[in-house]
Amino acid sequence: MKILALSGSIREKSFNSRLLDIAVTGAKSAGAEVTVVNLRDYDMPLFNQDLEYQEGAPDAVVQLKNLMIQHQGLLIASPEYNGFPSPLLKNMLDWMSRQQNEHEPPMFAYNGKIAAVMAASPGAGGGTRGLTILRILLQNLGVMALPGQVTLGRAGQAFREDGRLHEERLQLAAESLGSDLYDVLIKQASELD
């Protein structure tokens, strides 16, 4: 089972990317093959249907979509901007939903995907409001999100120098989010056999 892990932030030393790393460790410890992508490496313009019709999908969109198709699970960390997931993440989700050719089924990149979501924020809420909207977006795309999630408030003070969280309970919760996703993917695969 393969998991694609990504953060909705490309900021250096992003709290969400650091939280994602902890969940990735948990998934790998459980046996998952995890591919971590940085959206900075995929230069996607704002989604524009005119651009898509005139020039087709940008190369970065095609590359990331092909990568997404090869993975069964998604680990997503999203910052919260005014109660919403990041515009970067929303733009990526929109581009991934587009058909590359007339023979491709709608929402092909999301077909059968299961996601685990998390958020880190300098504020006390930890990104909870943004995850509520992210769950709705994922549901609209046909992606099942695990009911559990991790939110990390006051993230500026939450990490130790070695990347772990000061609060052991949250460290274990983030690791478990990654391993739980892998366990659900394995269970789903065995039920399909």
Task: Give percent of the chain above pLDDT 70.
Answer: 99
Query: Stretch 135-158: mean pLDDT, rounded?
Result: 97
Query: Stretch 107-135: mean pLDDT, rounded?
Result: 96
Query: Stretch 122-136: mean pLDDT, rounded?
Result: 96
Residue 190 confidence class, pLDDT cut points 50, 70, 90: confident
Residue closest to 116 by CA, chosen among 84, 145, 86? 145
Query: Over the stretch 27-59, which tens digit does the pLDDT of each residue have?
Result: 999 999 999 999 999 999 999 999 999 999 999
The pTM assigned to this predicted structure is: 0.96
Per-residue pLDDT for 96 more than 80?
Answer: yes
